[in-house]
C-alpha cells in the first residue's frame, strides 16, 4: 500500500513541477507556512491533522520577519485542537493576526476532521476549515511623499472588512509515515468599497503537499525527514526540505532548506507535564535582502494534555 501512495505522490510532484514552468509573477513569503515550526504542528497547514493523536493541546507563536526592517511582517497565531470522544474525529480553532506596515489582518477559523480506517495499519483523515478574515489596510496612515502631496487612492480608509475563508485537506498515515495534501485557506477577498473592485491582496489558492517518514535510530534517537511542495496559481512552485531529530529527554532539533534560498534552524523542548517551548530562526543566505536585515525569528509555546485520561501514542507530526 505504501508503494501505491508513493506513486500518487510522485505524480503530483510532477504536475507541480510542470506548473512551475508556466507560472509567472512575483514570489511571495506568504507561500511558506505561517509558522516556521509547522513540522511539529502539522494541523496549521492541514486541518485533517486536528485531533489525530488522541491528545488535546494549544499552541501560541509569534513570528517577526526580517528583523531591523521597519514595517516587516509580524505574525501571531493561536491554535487549539482536541479529539472528540470517539477518536475518529477532531475539532479545532485558529486565530491568526498578521501585520504588514499599517495593514492589519485578523482571521478566525474552525476545523473539523474525520478519520476512516483503511486497513490494519493505515488511516485516512479528511479535514475542513471555515471562518472569516477581518481586514483593515489603514491607508490614511501612510505618508508617501516627503513634500506632503496627497494621493487620492490613500485619502480614505477601508476598515474592518470581513472576508470568508475556507480550507480543506486530507492525510494518509500510520505511526511512522504520512502523505498530506491541503489547501488550508482559500479566501474570497474582493469587495466593493470606496472604489471599484478593491482587492486586499491576490486571492491565494495555495496547495501544500507533504510527505515524511519516522526512522528509529540507535540510542533512542529518531529522525523524521519531510518534503513540502507548495503550489499557488500564478506563482512559482516552492520546496521546503526539512528534517527533525528527536533526542532522548524530549529534546528535538530541526533544519529546513527552502527553494527561496533561506535556511531555518529550530529547536524544541517538551517538559514532563506536556508543556512545549520552541524557537526558530530563518536566514536568507542566498538573497539580496540578507544585507539589510538580521533574519526572521519565531517563538512558540504549546501545551498538550490527555483530555480523556486514556493511554495515547507519542506525537511526532
Q: What span, in angstroms and rounded, lies between the C-alpha atoms of 312 and 255?
A: 28
Question: In 3D, which of 268, 275, 307 has the Cα closest to residue 53?
Answer: 307
Q: How many domains does the chain have?
A: 1
Per-residue pLDDT tens digits for 290-301 = 677 888 999 999
As to burial, measured by CB atoms within 10 angstroms (0-12 exposed, 13-18 middle, 19+ buried), residue 26 is exposed
Query: Is the predicted pLDDT of residue 254 greater than 60, yes or no?
Result: yes
% of residues, the chain, pLDDT over 70: 73
pLDDT tens-digit profile of 194-204? 454 455 444 55
Question: Span 212-223, mean pLDDT?
Answer: 94
Q: Is residue 217 part of a domain?
A: yes
Give residue-wise pLDDT tens across range 147-164: 666 666 666 666 657 788
Residue-wise pLDDT for 61-118, tens only, equals 999 998 888 778 899 999 999 998 766 899 999 999 988 877 788 899 999 999 999 9
What pairing do the DSSP bridges indicate for beta strands 221-232 and 275-283? unpaired
H/E run at residue 112: strand 103-117
Copy the grid coordinates of residue 178.
Answer: 504520512
Asked if residue 84 belongs to a domain, the reply is: yes
Q: Quick: pLDDT tens for 229-250.
A: 998 877 889 999 999 999 998 9
In a domain, 47, yes or no: yes
pLDDT in the model for residue 154:
63
Whole-number Å distance between alpha carbons of 118 and 3: 15
pLDDT band at 23 (very low <50, low <70, confident <90, very high): very low
149 within some domain: yes
115, three cell numbers: 478519520
CA distance 147 to 301: 46
Residue 234: domain span: 2-305
pLDDT of residue 196: 47
Q: What grid cell was written down for 80?
A: 487549539
Task: Look at residue 312 and tell me if it is in a domain.
Answer: no
CB 39 within 8 A of CB 242: yes
Radius of gyration over every alpha carbon of the chain, rounded to an integer in angstroms:
20
How far apart are the C-alpha atoms of 14 and 37, rounded to whole Å? 26
pLDDT score of 193 more than 60: no
Cα separation, 297 vs 294, in Å, equals 9
CB < 8 Å & 24+ apart, contacts of 3-8: 5/172, 5/179, 8/179
Cell 489596510 sits on residue? 137
Rounded to whole angstroms, the Cα distance separating 84 from 88 reads: 7
pLDDT of residue 123: 93
**CATH of residue 225:** 2.40.160.40
Quote the pLDDT of residue 24: 36
279 within some domain: yes
For residue range 121-145, list pLDDT tens digits in order. Answer: 899 999 999 998 887 776 666 666 6
Question: Per the domain annotation, does 292 fall within a domain?
Answer: yes
Q: Is residue 316 part of a domain?
A: no
pLDDT at 19: 43
What pLDDT does residue 151 have?
A: 66
Amino acid at each position: 500500500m505504501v508503494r501505491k501512495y508513493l506513486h500518487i505522490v510522485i505524480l503530483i510532484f510532477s504536475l507541480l513541477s510542470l506548473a512551475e514552468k508556466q507560472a509567472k509573477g512575483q514570489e511571495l513569503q506568504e507561500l511558506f507556512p505561517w509558522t516556521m515550526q509547522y513540522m511539529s504542528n502539522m494541523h496549521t497547514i492541514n486541518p485533517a491533522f486536528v485531533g489525530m493523536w488522541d491528545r488535546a493541546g494549544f499552541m501560541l507563536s509569534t513570528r517577526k520577519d526580517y528583523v531591523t526592517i521597519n514595517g516587516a511582517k509580524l505574525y501571531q497565531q493561536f491554535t487549539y485542537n482536541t479529539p472528540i470522544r470517539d477518536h475518529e474525529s477532531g475539532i479545532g480553532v485558529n486565530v491568526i493576526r498578521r501585520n504588514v506596515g499599517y495593514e492589519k489582518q485578523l482571521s478566525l477559523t474552525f476545523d473539523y476532521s474525520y478519520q476512516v480506517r483503511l486497513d490494519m495499519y493505515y488511516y485516512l483523515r479528511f479535514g475542513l476549515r471555515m471562518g472569516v478574515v477581518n481586514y483593515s489596510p489603514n491607508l490614511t496612515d501612510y505618508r508617501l511623499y516627503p513634500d506632503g502631496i496627497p494621493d487620492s487612492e490613500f485619502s480614505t480608509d477601508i476598515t474592518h472588512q470581513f472576508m470568508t475563508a475556507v480550507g480543506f485537506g486530507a492525510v494518509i498515515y500510520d505511526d511512522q509515515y504520512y502523505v498530506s495534501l491541503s489547501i488550508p485557506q482559500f479566501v474570497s477577498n474582493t469587495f466593493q468599497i470606496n472604489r471599484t473592485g478593491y482587492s486586499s491582496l491576490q486571492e491565494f489558492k495555495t496547495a501544500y503537499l507533504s510527505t515524511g517518514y519516522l526512522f528509529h535510530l540507535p540510542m533512542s534517537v529518531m529522525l523524521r525527514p519531510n518534503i513540502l511542495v507548495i503550489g499557488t496559481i500564478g506563482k512559482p512552485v516552492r520546496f521546503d526540505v526539512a528534517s527533525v531529530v528527536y533526542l532522548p529527554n524530549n529534546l528535538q532539533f530541526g533544519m529546513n532548506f527552502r527553494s527561496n534560498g533561506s535556511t531555518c534552524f529550530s529547536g524544541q523542548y517538551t517538559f514532563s507535564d506536556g508543556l512545549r517551548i520552541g524557537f526558530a530562526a530563518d536566514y536568507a543566505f542566498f538573497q539580496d535582502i540578507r544585507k539589510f536585515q538580521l533574519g526572521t525569528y519565531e517563538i512558540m509555546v504549546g501545551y498538550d494534555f490527555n483530555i480523556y485520561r486514556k493511554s495515547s501514542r507519542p506525537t511526532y507530526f
